[in-house]
Structure 1
Amino acid sequence: MSRFSRIATATTVCLVGSLLLVPGAAAAEHTVSTNIPLTCKATPSKFADPQDFSTGDDGVSVDITAPETVGVGEHFTVELAIKPVQINVGGLSYGARIESVSRIKLDLAIPAGLTYVDSSLDSNGSNLAGFAVKRINESGTEDPNGGLLRITSADNATVGNGPNTSGTAAGGVTHIVQNDRLNMKLPVVALKFRSETPGSADLGVRTGGNAANYGADENFLTMLAKIKAPFVGTLWAPTRCTPRQDKDAALAPQASALASVQVVDNGPAAETGLTVSAPDATAGVPSTVTARVNPPDAAGTVRFSSGDTTVEATVNDGTATAELTFPSIGVHELRTAFTPAKAHLFAPSTSTTQVQVAGRDSQFAVTAPDTARADSTVAVRATTNATATGTVTFRLGDSDPVTVPLNNGRTSASLPVPSTPGAAELTATYAPAEGSLFAGAEKRTEITVSSTSYTVLTLEGPQDTVRPGEEVTVTAELQPVVDTTAADGTVVFNADGRTVTVPVTDNTATFTFVPDREGSFTVSARYIPADASQTPATADTTVTAGATSTSLALTPPERVRPFEEATFGVTVSPAADGTLTATHGGRTTTVPVTAGTAALPMTFARGGTQQVTLRFTPAEGSSAQPATRPFDVEVTASSYESVTVGIEAAATVAADTPLPLAITVTPDNGDIREVSGSLSFSVDGEPLIDSDGKAVTMPVSGGRAAVDLTFARGGDRTVTVTFTGDNGVTATGTHTVTVTGGEQEAGGSSDTSISSGTQTGTEENSPFAALLALLAPLWTWLINLFTGFSGGSS
């Protein structure tokens, strides 16, 4: 076999291990291990005959995760996770250099008994663009009734078996090799199927028809490499791969049944029912609506609709909870629809509920003097939330009521005072305008009616807190003795040590001053009559200066669980607009505050008491003060009592080459993401220690950890991983690896180094960390090929 032939062959074998796609599923899953032999035919464009290479007798071991059982009519998803290719391809003979790899395609067979529904591509983390999933027929052309799925470029560029083929020109999805390094990161492919008939549905690669023939364009895996070498020029190497032990062997039967899904007939779907409630529904703010699904094991989603507003929530333990904003006070129709996750087991259901929506607190308050002279008039005031609209009706004793409108949350009225001295009840009633979001309210207080034989002095000043440096006006109002009309004279005002005498004009006198600091200022007034027709009188009032103090209250939902978003209610008092920022566990969430209320979604990573710090920032121009307050939130603690430690790693690794270990700690109860703690390690029974003689530990977060081990010596090595949880739970897992190369000496941990690894994904989107085992034997083959120790030619 010539050196240039080996260059062409080696270029394509680099890709084989990484492009063998492995199906996973989002339904209830089980994992099986399947060993697949792989043999490929590379056909260099010149200087060499076709070359054959294979993984040999050992083949490649693949862990397959798929739904174990689905019902007739059920939809389920199969994920195809493609192992990233990161291989150094420099140092080839005669100065040869790999320039690109293109026209990659992978064909899968649509299992009998299943209907292909659709597909999606997740390109996050991918550095290759242009991939698509196509439904094709045996000729490789797109066909809505075809029995095959092809993962390739949007224009279906391949080395053969299609409308856009070439073995001497790059095309389709192309990876340009830079710095003599293959660094291909491919998207995750999700395929959705619907089960149609009972029986076993086998998931596998394309092996039917001409795809079973060795070296055919229909082979399930094909690709094209481009190589340049001095004096030789461009060398193209189209490669076609089949699942067989060698070129003369029969197809491996397991290739067409990498995993099997049992489709069962569960009979008619069970009826479901909904019980819906919204006991604390309040107009204009997010209100909690809850639907309980019967039977409680019917998983799915519930859609809540009222008017033009619709929200959707996931059913957890038979209950779905959402936040819905009702636009007004009164009775609203709430329509609810349950959509089962497994339509073959449970039927959908709907419900219509009448919800009584209450108004928001209007913050209704009334201000009136403690005393008033008989047969006179008295000024009274009322305030509400600034956005409240409507009217206020005042009534003093048995006098006729006076109704006045609100303006920016304020109003006032002048009421006739009864003729008889004594206590008179003042009643103030707030009536919201039509369509208002606020509830009605009523306040009652007493005013003492005094005799008419003396002059009455009352002071009117600001009722709200004023700012330091802001001019304040206080007005003295005089009620003359009965049967007189003018209370002439002067009023002596005193405030914060300052005394000013002001003449009375039209029975009033006005005093202004500027508070120079925060605090309370007493303003006193003394009336000095001009003649004996009036009597002296005194009064005082208090003016408060300073920004309005702000308080924060946090209302948690009924239950808060780790890794589940929960919506908290926040109240800012006094009510104000602005923004609210919550900080917990290094995360921040910012939401708007409207009229003193906010809905705050938060997710916690662990159970127990968690501290949340709330920071309120008032809107520009608001008189409210910023406020910061910590809160303790109780998150339902982890409930697991035991765990199992799983280790996914290659079965073979070269000495002085990092061996990635993907470690999963699975609890007996609860979510894996709740598991945290630390790992310690031993190799061949000896603890792995650092330079200070202390045991090496690595953290576990969310039930997962990734480390790299490097062995200097060869042989069969046993790695033991011990987990110690934050709650004291412990467990151990082991993995045996064959280290090739290096000196074959006695085992132990002294030749082993450890470093943090990179996790390749989560259980949901990349459950096949064991694909490292797929690449290992091919990588060993490639090293041997270029060092001349062995080859894959025939």
Structure 2
Amino acid sequence: MSRFSRIATATTVSLIGSLLLVPGAVAAGHTVSTNIPLTCKATPNKFADPQDFSTGEDGVSVDITTPDTVSVGEEFAVKLEIRPVQINVGGLSFGAKIESVSRIKLDVAIPAGLTYLDSSLDNSNANLAGFTVKRINESGTEDPNGRILRIASADNATVGNGPNASGTTAGGVTHVVKNDKLNMKFPVVELKFRAEASGAAGLGVRTTGNAGNYGADENFLTMLAKINAPFVGTLWAPTQCTPRENKDAALAPQASALATVRVVDSGPATETGLTVTAADATAGLPSPVTAQVSPVEATGTVSFASGNTTVEATVKNGTATADLTFPSVGAHELRTTFTPDKAYLFAPSSSTTQVQVKGQDAQFTFSAPGTARADSILAVRATTNTAATGSVTFQLGDGDPVTVPVKNGRTSASLTVPSTPGQSELTATFTPAEGSLFAGAEKRTDITVSSDASTVLTLEGPQGTVRPGEKVTVTAGLQPAAETTVADGTVVFSTDGRTVAVPVTANSAAFTFVPDREGSFTISARYTPADASQTPATADVTVTAASTPTSLELNVPDRVLPFEETVLGVSVTPAADGTLTATHGGRSTTVPVTAGTAVLPMIFTRSGAQQITLNFVPSDDSPTQATTRSFDIKVAEFTFESATVAIEADPTVAAGTPLPLAVTVNPDRGTTRAVSGPLSFAVDGETLVGTDGEPVTMPVSNGTATVRLTFAHGGERTVTVTFTGDGGVTATGTHTVTVTGGKQAPGGSSDIGISSGTNTGSAGTNPFASLVALLAPLWTWLNNIFIKLLGGSS
């Protein structure tokens, strides 16, 4: 078979095999494999009579996925996914070329008992523009009551059976073949139906009326090919195809029911109910809201709305849960609505619930010495979350309360210690500001009031929360007894099972420890005086260790290309210092994080969705937690508009000795590492071909390729290397070599040996090899027309 036959066959088979329903239904379904024969009639506009060709009894195998069962009123979808056609189409006899394929249309019958609802097309991966789905009648014109769905161009361009028909002019969705390369990428089509009546609904192609007659424009599949050849000019071949074994056979009965959907009557919709809870609703934070839907078999979505905020969740096993943020503390109305997936089985429902929203934990703590001398001044401190605003009121015993505002999460006050020794209760109360998202809090502790004859021990530790692993220093301060100035001795510190004795120097002693976990650590101190001038004393202080939860955000440029450095921005919240390690494709890159910001240079070697994993490790003095998060980054397809071919090789070589050629393809933008495609070769203007007469090619990988040529004859030889890339990009480079020795002979390729490369025309490398036999008779006949007209042979 000629190369032209293979290419045209592959193209047409791809259209037929792909367009014959390959759906994925919304409901749980099953897949059936159906075989139908196909016989077509092609009528050239000159030089020959109509021609018939058929797949015979072998037919075409079609896999169809449908729902097992649908109910009356249920909506379901059929998805048509057409695989790309990518193949070289050069090398026809006598310079003939396929110029375009156009006016392709496929008609699908709308089964009785089903209502067609809508269609959608996903063009994200397509390079063919203009496909639509139309509802038509028997005459091929649009009709809202028609029972046929036509997949064709927006202007309904066909070879017949429509208002925009022609067999000698291209139209509709047209693929123009450039640089002898066919590269057709189709949109994904989805058809939506609703079941209206119980029974069996057969999904099939159009076969009723004149569509069942052989060679009619109403046939379910028609198309138009345009071929151009020297001397002959342009040849148009409108083609009509019907599902039959040969032109005289009856229609294959399975064509009208490639798959069957069973429609059942499920009766009236069941009433549903909602039980809504939001027990842990906290102002300003995403809070879980849950709806229990009854009966548990009802599936669908639940929307939760409060104020101007609405969130949705999918019902799973009768439960839907979402996170909703309430704007303030207090009572809020929560409106909940259930929308069933299957309105024909279950009715919608709604409810209104009053939710009591609590404030966030203000992380309120306060500290004060455990002992104070009578009639002295007591220094007290308090801390809150830095975002919490409001005031703290301190009161010691029956003394006057002191209220001070909170600034940046901190506040302090000085209180007068009572005159009477003994125990006195210290109270600290946090009152949030109006409109605050935080809850109020109160803390209490006992202060020991000593006489002026006693030595007073106070402990000073960190004012706020520390991070596990961070060094913490607690300082013991000694106030000597009355009429003395120095309190010598030893302070014994105890915490978490550890005891350390520290000598007192200048009325002070310090203790350092490292919290090894989150939680509260009580540090107890016991003073033992060196002589009788002082009295023993004790004090306690509590240190809280906790890590601040950390979040990572990735800022990605609008366009990320493979093999080009991309600078990503990373934000760490809350802002902190540390290091960031990015892992992708088994490689890791580590950069510093300063004040919550990092600049991350990355290079991606593949297109499509690429995952990158970020691991943040805080510095030793940071209260933030280490965290890890993965992100998906969309890397665009690498494209270029032009390229150059560079060849490195020796200027001379002996006959019979392989000559290595190092070939590099340089794109006009981007890097050579992203370039791929085939190379073809010519020597002295004559194309190198394999044993089957087809051009020899070899692939370019990462923009480079190496090939070895061996010359049997001597003389000056010119080697031409041609690169063919995506989007019709071609580039050519040449190298002249002097072949020494051997018999001098005129130029040509008959004496050339090539030690690497692949033959794109062979069955082993042709991705459509298994489809070649389907429409071979038609395309063989077309090719033979050129041969006979020009008096040649294949």
The TM tier, using the shorter chain, reads 0.5 to 0.7
What SS does the corresponding residue of 1:25 show, helix, strand or coil? coil
* Letter in structure 2 aligned against 1:778: L
Corresponding residue for residue 143 of structure 2: 143
Given that residues 17 and 774 in structure 1 are in contact (C-alpha distance below 8 angstroms), is that contact kept between their aligned partners in structure 2? no
CA positional deviation for 1:400: 2.7
Choose from 765, 778, 783 the match for 2:774.
778
* Letter in structure 1 aligned against 2:269: A
CA positional deviation for 1:427: 0.9
1:50-83 alpha-carbon deviations (Å, 9 max, x no partner): 2221211222222222123211111111112224
Corresponding residue for residue 235 of structure 2: 235
Number of residues of Structure 1 aligned to a counterpart in Structure 2: 574
Alignment of 1:653-692 (within 5 A): none
Classify 1:224/1:199 alpha carbon distance in 2 versus 1 (closer, same or farther; 3 Å): same
Corresponding residue for residue 313 of structure 1: 313
Given that residues 69 and 263 in structure 1 are in contact (C-alpha distance below 8 angstroms), is that contact kept between their aligned partners in structure 2? yes
CA positional deviation for 1:203: 1.6
Report the Cα distance in structure 1 between the residues aligned to 2:272 and 2:765, rounded to whole angstroms. Answer: 49
Classify 1:86/1:10 alpha carbon distance in 2 versus 1 (closer, same or farther; 3 Å): closer
Given that residues 396 and 417 in structure 2 are in contact (C-alpha distance below 8 angstroms), is that contact kept between their aligned partners in structure 1? yes
CA positional deviation for 1:34: 2.4
Given that residues 290 and 321 in structure 2 are in contact (C-alpha distance below 8 angstroms), is that contact kept between their aligned partners in structure 1? yes
What SS does the corresponding residue of 1:57 show, helix, strand or coil? helix
1:176 has 2:176 as partner:
yes
Classify 1:373/1:12 alpha carbon distance in 2 versus 1 (closer, same or farther; 3 Å): closer
Alignment of 1:345-744 (within 5 A): 345-452=345-452, 463=463, 550=547, 576=574, 615-616=615-616, 623-625=622-624, 627=626
Report the Cα distance in structure 1 between the residues aligned to 2:25 and 2:769, rounded to whole angstroms. Answer: 20
Given that residues 288 and 322 in structure 2 are in contact (C-alpha distance below 8 angstroms), is that contact kept between their aligned partners in structure 1? yes
Report the Cα distance in structure 2 between the residues aligned to 1:778 and 1:115, rounded to whole angstroms. Answer: 34
Report the Cα distance in structure 2 between the residues aligned to 1:13 and 1:283, rounded to whole angstroms. Answer: 62
Classify 1:578/1:132 alpha carbon distance in 2 versus 1 (closer, same or farther; 3 Å): farther
Classify 1:615/1:14 alpha carbon distance in 2 versus 1 (closer, same or farther; 3 Å): closer
Report the Cα distance in structure 2 between the residues aligned to 1:61 and 1:103, rounded to whole angstroms. Answer: 24
* Letter in structure 2 aligned against 1:299: T
Classify 1:9/1:235 alpha carbon distance in 2 versus 1 (closer, same or farther; 3 Å): farther
Report the Cα distance in structure 2 between the residues aligned to 1:40 and 1:629, rounded to whole angstroms. Answer: 60
Classify 1:343/1:454 alpha carbon distance in 2 versus 1 (closer, same or farther; 3 Å): closer
Classify 1:55/1:287 alpha carbon distance in 2 versus 1 (closer, same or farther; 3 Å): same
Corresponding residue for residue 55 of structure 2: 55
Corresponding residue for residue 33 of structure 2: 33
Report the Cα distance in structure 2 between the residues aligned to 1:95 and 1:379, rounded to whole angstroms. Answer: 100
Identity %: 70
Corresponding residue for residue 79 of structure 1: 79
Corresponding residue for residue 166 of structure 2: 166
CA positional deviation for 1:541: 12
Given that residues 3 and 92 in structure 2 are in contact (C-alpha distance below 8 angstroms), is that contact kept between their aligned partners in structure 1? no
* Letter in structure 1 aligned against 2:314: T
Corresponding residue for residue 324 of structure 2: 324
CA positional deviation for 1:177: 2.8
Report the Cα distance in structure 2 between the residues aligned to 1:4 and 1:87, rounded to whole angstroms. Answer: 11
Given that residues 103 and 157 in structure 1 are in contact (C-alpha distance below 8 angstroms), is that contact kept between their aligned partners in structure 2? yes
* Letter in structure 1 aligned against 2:399: S
1:603-628 alpha-carbon deviations (Å, 9 max, x no partner): xxxxxxxxx99944679x99535625
CA positional deviation for 1:383: 0.5
Alignment of 1:744-783 (within 5 A): 775=771, 777-778=773-774
Given that residues 458 and 539 in structure 1 are in contact (C-alpha distance below 8 angstroms), is that contact kept between their aligned partners in structure 2? no
1:523-578 alpha-carbon deviations (Å, 9 max, x no partner): xxxxxxxxxxxx9999999999xxx9847699xxxxxxxxxxxxxxxxxxxx9457
Given that residues 576 and 618 in structure 1 are in contact (C-alpha distance below 8 angstroms), is that contact kept between their aligned partners in structure 2? no
1:223-244 alpha-carbon deviations (Å, 9 max, x no partner): 1111121221222222122222
Classify 1:91/1:110 alpha carbon distance in 2 versus 1 (closer, same or farther; 3 Å): same
CA positional deviation for 1:480: 12
CA positional deviation for 1:460: 8.0
Corresponding residue for residue 115 of structure 1: 115
CA positional deviation for 1:462: 6.9
Corresponding residue for residue 258 of structure 2: 258
What SS does the corresponding residue of 1:244 show, helix, strand or coil? coil
Report the Cα distance in structure 2 between the residues aligned to 1:323 and 1:756, rounded to whole angstroms. Answer: 54
CA positional deviation for 1:44: 1.7
Alignment of 1:330-345 (within 5 A): 330-345=330-345
* Letter in structure 1 aligned against 2:255: A
Given that residues 113 and 196 in structure 1 are in contact (C-alpha distance below 8 angstroms), is that contact kept between their aligned partners in structure 2? yes
Given that residues 37 and 252 in structure 2 are in contact (C-alpha distance below 8 angstroms), is that contact kept between their aligned partners in structure 1? yes
With normalisation by structure 2, the TM-score equals: 0.61
Report the Cα distance in structure 2 between the residues aligned to 1:587 and 1:123, rounded to whole angstroms. Answer: 34
What SS does the corresponding residue of 1:434 show, helix, strand or coil? coil
Structure 1: runs of 5+ lacking an equivalent: 502-510, 519-534, 555-574, 589-595, 597-611, 631-754, 759-771, 789-794
Alignment of 1:279-318 (within 5 A): 279-318=279-318
Given that residues 9 and 53 in structure 1 are in contact (C-alpha distance below 8 angstroms), is that contact kept between their aligned partners in structure 2? no
Classify 1:322/1:460 alpha carbon distance in 2 versus 1 (closer, same or farther; 3 Å): closer
1:470-498 alpha-carbon deviations (Å, 9 max, x no partner): xx9x999999989xxxx9x9999xxxx9x
Report the Cα distance in structure 2 between the residues aligned to 1:187 and 1:381, rounded to whole angstroms. Answer: 68
1:583-602 alpha-carbon deviations (Å, 9 max, x no partner): 999899xxxxxxx9xxxxxx
Given that residues 101 and 226 in structure 1 are in contact (C-alpha distance below 8 angstroms), is that contact kept between their aligned partners in structure 2? yes
1:252-283 alpha-carbon deviations (Å, 9 max, x no partner): 33222222222221111122222222333322
* Letter in structure 1 aligned against 2:63: D
* Letter in structure 2 aligned against 1:79: K
CA positional deviation for 1:299: 1.9
Report the Cα distance in structure 1 between the residues aligned to 2:4 and 2:417, rounded to whole angstroms. Answer: 113
Corresponding residue for residue 21 of structure 1: 21
Classify 1:64/1:500 alpha carbon distance in 2 versus 1 (closer, same or farther; 3 Å): closer
What SS does the corresponding residue of 1:94 show, helix, strand or coil? helix
Given that residues 377 and 414 in structure 1 are in contact (C-alpha distance below 8 angstroms), is that contact kept between their aligned partners in structure 2? yes
* Letter in structure 2 aligned against 1:148: I
More off after superposition, 97-106 vs 277-286:
277-286
Report the Cα distance in structure 2 between the residues aligned to 1:757 and 1:91, rounded to whole angstroms. Answer: 15
Corresponding residue for residue 193 of structure 1: 193
Classify 1:67/1:453 alpha carbon distance in 2 versus 1 (closer, same or farther; 3 Å): closer
Given that residues 60 and 773 in structure 1 are in contact (C-alpha distance below 8 angstroms), is that contact kept between their aligned partners in structure 2? no
Classify 1:536/1:88 alpha carbon distance in 2 versus 1 (closer, same or farther; 3 Å): same
What SS does the corresponding residue of 2:203 show, helix, strand or coil? strand
Report the Cα distance in structure 1 between the residues aligned to 2:171 and 2:28, rounded to whole angstroms. Answer: 39
Classify 1:784/1:4 alpha carbon distance in 2 versus 1 (closer, same or farther; 3 Å): closer
Classify 1:785/1:181 alpha carbon distance in 2 versus 1 (closer, same or farther; 3 Å): farther
Given that residues 576 and 618 in structure 2 are in contact (C-alpha distance below 8 angstroms), is that contact kept between their aligned partners in structure 1? yes
Classify 1:584/1:392 alpha carbon distance in 2 versus 1 (closer, same or farther; 3 Å): farther
* Letter in structure 1 aligned against 2:141: T
Corresponding residue for residue 70 of structure 2: 70
* Letter in structure 2 aligned against 1:432: P
Given that residues 459 and 540 in structure 1 are in contact (C-alpha distance below 8 angstroms), is that contact kept between their aligned partners in structure 2? no
Classify 1:628/1:451 alpha carbon distance in 2 versus 1 (closer, same or farther; 3 Å): same
Report the Cα distance in structure 1 between the residues aligned to 2:456 and 2:39, rounded to whole angstroms. Answer: 110
What SS does the corresponding residue of 1:150 show, helix, strand or coil? strand
CA positional deviation for 1:23: 3.8
Corresponding residue for residue 697 of structure 1: none
Report the Cα distance in structure 2 between the residues aligned to 1:538 and 1:3, rounded to whole angstroms. Answer: 105
Given that residues 21 and 82 in structure 1 are in contact (C-alpha distance below 8 angstroms), is that contact kept between their aligned partners in structure 2? no
Corresponding residue for residue 269 of structure 2: 269
Classify 1:230/1:401 alpha carbon distance in 2 versus 1 (closer, same or farther; 3 Å): same
